[in-house]
Amino acid sequence: MIEVLRFVLTGLGLTQAILMLVDEGIFHHKRGLEKFERWGHVADTGLFFIAISVPALFAPTTLLISIYGVLAVASCLLITKDEWIHAEACEPLEHWCHAMLFILHGALLAVIGVLWNLQPDLPELKALPVAVFFWGLYQHLYWNVYYVRSSH
């Protein structure tokens, strides 16, 4: 059971990473991002990082499982905040990419939660927050430092 869930986690994580790179590398760079999205994407990644850091750093207890659940739901809700902007700024293929990312986001958080409860010392649970931290750092430095400076 754990090996199957690890395989699912890897598949979901790789699929999400590929779609994030497509969203970022093609769609975002093509149309640029306004201030709300530039900071909002960093906030999305930050809350996701905080949520997945709970299983990475702590053994599951009733309290921590509840905290993780609240953080996971909040993360799933927060990522939808840009859809009013996307409704006018994005082409249909980017909308589809976002829809897929929303599905993967929740599924990934659910699988992480289950694996944390079954085997809290999995290396994947420890490594994922590191990758997400560096993705968030890139988002901040590129969009809120480099992009802003090169646009003016």
- pLDDT of 36: 94
pLDDT tens for 32-74 read 999 999 999 999 999 999 999 999 999 999 999 999 999 999 9
Query: Positive or negative CA dihedral for 98, 50, 108, 16?
Result: positive
pLDDT above 70: residue 152: no
How far is it, in rounded angstroms, from Cα 116 to Cα 110?
10
How far is it, in rounded angstroms, from Cα 94 to Cα 128?
25
Domain of residue 19, residue span:
2-151
pLDDT tens for 77-109 read 999 999 988 998 999 999 999 999 999 999 999
DSSP per position, 3-52: HHHHHHHHHHHHHHHHHHHHIIIIIIHHH---HHHHHHHHHHHHHHHHHH
- pLDDT of 151: 79
pLDDT tens for 127-150 read 999 999 999 999 999 999 999 898
Across the range 6-12, mean pLDDT stands at 97
Number of domains in the chain: 1
Query: Positive or negative CA dihedral for 25, 30, 31, 35?
Result: positive
- Mean of pLDDT over the chain: 96
